Amino acid sequence: MELGQLNFILELIAVITGVVGVWYAKKENILVYPIGIISVLIWVYLCWIGKMYGQSLVNFSFFIINIFGWYNWSRKNDDQSNAVEIQFNNYLQNVIVIITTLLLWVLLYYFLLKYKADDEAVIYVFLEALITAMNFVAMFLLAWKRIENWIYWIIADIMCIPLFIHKDYLIGVFQFSFFIVIAFLGYIEWKKQIIRS
């Protein structure tokens, strides 16, 4: 099997496990984490060889946050209820999230600029840095079951589409399109849960 075929098969596995993982997140099912780990580790490799170093980095950080999220979602209170419940951020938490995103964006932009290929347009580095910052923050919000994670995912996934078209990861484009729909449905479902409780 040649490398191109292997990468296509890996991309397909990463997409399938990614979609299934996000579906489990929407359902607030802890299986989001072990399935997500498979997906992100494959994407670490695919993004690295595609010279999308920011996306490779974010997927590696997803691996670490997936381990933390798995632990965090499995914690129980003394009465065996979940220690982490779905909730909204408060005003101060939202300010911290926005400031963290902006700081990460700037830091990642200057970091990734050093690795830009000569034929790569700066706009893709700018976009990749913003997506990477938003993905990192969204994953952290998901680990704490904050409903704002879905808003971050929707915006970042929309921005991923032109980046992945540019890199010819067309199955990835399908994945991000599907993620947008699931994230929108996840936001609605989690919001209903908050209203019910």
64 neighbors 33 (Cβ within 8 angstroms)? no
Closest by alpha carbon to 60, among 45, 76, 79? 45
Instruction: Give, for all 197 residues of the chain, the pLDDT tens digit.
Output: 687 889 989 989 998 999 999 999 999 999 999 999 999 999 999 989 888 787 788 789 889 999 999 999 999 999 999 999 999 999 999 999 999 999 999 999 998 888 777 777 788 888 889 998 999 999 999 999 999 999 999 999 999 998 888 878 888 788 889 999 999 999 999 999 999 98
Distance CA 150, CA 154 (A): 6
pLDDT, position 115: 78
Closest by alpha carbon to 126, among 49, 44, 45, 54? 54
Distance CA 195, CA 197 (A): 6
Of the CA atoms within 13 Å of residue 114, those in its CB half-sphere come to 4
**Which neighbouring-strand residues pair with 87?**
146
Closest by alpha carbon to 21, among 63, 49, 53? 63
